[in-house]
Chain A
């Protein structure tokens, strides 16, 4: 097609209008972000999770997660009748490509997305010999990869299997709750890409965050509460078989 001056005059305002939307997707600088005003966590409504793996794919793309390792993953539980102490669990490739059809029609099947629980009393930060992993004042457990020794003690100490050693940097890695995004007023990649809204970023210090209403009106649970880590990833509809 030959681009004439007339076409250009028509296209430029359209491109200008489109550019506004491009910019809207670009994280804003956040000069007004105050660490002390936030306390981040996540709400996962298991009744809404369909096990599509969008969250896993979004996380891997957003955070450049190395192949074979997971900052978030999805497990599928199969529980027959009352035998909740012996669930059958699978998570092929971390549920990244969804799940094959369930083989056993009896019992119940459900999906459980997992990620770092950003524990307020995190065993992983406790054991780090140099303090390379720490809890930020706004409640996110982070790793300083320029400081981490790669001793792997934190990987051993995490009760949920959320940490791994990045084979390229040789340092500990885990979910950062997309810290680079949430500081700029965006939500996490996994929450943004969840087609059913099963995952919701929650600011527990923000009184107008819908999490407060949800927690008031639903029975929610955290994983392995007996570990007393004060996990901040809350699950709605969590079955007793999940570990």
Chain B
């Protein structure tokens, strides 16, 4: 059979989960990672990353809004997806999706963003005109009290929400890892390390994404990049990446040393069908290279300009590496037969419902949403609107 080597159970030849399911953990990972970066400033008082606080929240929201779309497009019957809310199956890891998603979207992210921006929204609803005014008016949800006392309450509630948000972000992405890690039929997925690896890789990708977006947007706005801020972010990225890489290597070494019945089959797959995406792109290009680049900024004295370039390069490579990691988990887990006797091939469509074009659109869509959000709710501290009649902004 075309694309099949060795023996596959006949129903295994066709891959079940496509590039869209690769995209899903990639997008939710960015959400969780961006939120955890934001929480650094809010809960752990890391002042240096303050310039990215609001941007990180908006980034998380933009990606979270798009995260369910690849799943929806993938379903055989998308019109039945609401059944997951109405009749969730208590033993299914996947049944939790809707609830975890809604909890994170509504109870954590939207609420935190609203509380954080409430003052700005109220001021803008009073200072703008026309349609914009109507939008901001609607966003105030009827609450226009921006007295010092009210803002203090906002701040306290926001702090509590962030505190709840951190374990929620862990839950959101750890849960995605559990969906894969709990499938005992598939030795490539079945490991208790999977949720933990997913959480750390999420933090890596989210931190890298916010760092890149901050640098890009600051450059586009012709402003100066706050080096103390990006240095701190890069430092966190470096340490998180080290933990992530250690966990992944622990998994790998464990598999090699244990060499259970699946090992020969998986090892062969990694050295053939997954060689480029796993060894070259994920490990060498997307993990070791950015770690070494980030390490160089930690130990060597490098000029600001060079550091910026290194961060930009390391950030881009990190994104490629984490996407490759998602690819290798999702696609790699379906390329070998559960008989361990053969391999199939993933043939990605181009202009199909689950094809490359859809994947590209879904990857770019969060950036478009983010652009809209940044326009509506400017995340830059210096753009914070002044209260009309007051002599200075707060």
A123-B184, A148-B76, A170-B76 given as contacts; is B93 within 8 A of A163 (CB)? no
Kindly report which residue of chain B lies nearest to residue A75, judged by CB atoms.
B7
Which residues of chain A are near B12, meaning CB under 8 Å? 161
A129-B92, A129-B94, A170-B77 given as contacts; is B7 within 8 A of A158 (CB)? no
CB of A147 within 8 Å of the partner chain:
yes
Residues B89 and A129 in contact, CB atoms below 8 Å apart? yes
Residues A89 and B339 in contact, CB atoms below 8 Å apart? yes
Q: Please, how many angstroms separate the alpha-carbon atoms of A210 and B343 in the complex?
A: 40
Q: Please, how many angstroms separate the alpha-carbon atoms of A148 and B87 in the complex?
A: 12
> Quick check: which of B78-86, B156-164, B219-227, B266-274 contacts chain A, the rest being far away?
B78-86
Across the interface, B339 reaches (CB within 8 A) one of A149, A164, A243, namely A243
Instruction: Give per-residue flags for A25-56: 1 if the beta carbon is below 8 A from chain B beta carbons, else 0.
Output: 00000000000000000000000000000000
CB of B245 within 8 Å of the partner chain:
no
CB of A232 within 8 Å of the partner chain:
no
**Interface size counted on chain A using CB atoms at 8 A:** 42
Instruction: Give per-residue flags for A152-172: 1 if the beta carbon is below 8 A from chain B beta carbons, else 0.
Output: 110111111111110001110
Residues B94 and A150 in contact, CB atoms below 8 Å apart? no
A130-B84, A149-B75 given as contacts; is B10 within 8 A of A70 (CB)? yes
Q: Please, how many angstroms separate the alpha-carbon atoms of A75 and B341 in the complex?
A: 12
Which residues of chain A are near B76, meaning CB under 8 Å? 148-152, 165, 169-171
How large, as a class, is the contact surface on chain B?
A: 35 or more
Residues A149 and B16 in contact, CB atoms below 8 Å apart? no
Residue of A70, A153, A162, A169 most packed against chain B (CB within 10 A)? A153
Main secondary structure of the interface of B (DSSP, over half): loop
CB of B277 within 8 Å of the partner chain:
no
Residues B184 and A227 in contact, CB atoms below 8 Å apart? yes
Kindly report which residue of chain B lies nearest to residue A164, judged by CB atoms.
B11
A152-B17, A243-B340 given as contacts; is B92 within 8 A of A159 (CB)? no
Across the interface, B77 reaches (CB within 8 A) one of A148, A156, A159, A160, namely A148
Across the interface, A156 reaches (CB within 8 A) one of B16, B80, B84, namely B16
Residues A149 and B91 in contact, CB atoms below 8 Å apart? no
Which residues of chain B are near A165, meaning CB under 8 Å? 14, 16, 76
Given pairs A129-B84, A152-B16, A153-B179, 11 additional interface contacts (CB within 8 A): A70-B10, A89-B7, A130-B92, A149-B77, A155-B11, A160-B9, A161-B12, A161-B337, A161-B339, A165-B14, A227-B185
Which residues of A pack against B, CB within 8 Å?
A: 69-70, 73, 75, 87-91, 94, 114, 123, 125-131, 147-153, 155-165, 169-171, 227, 243
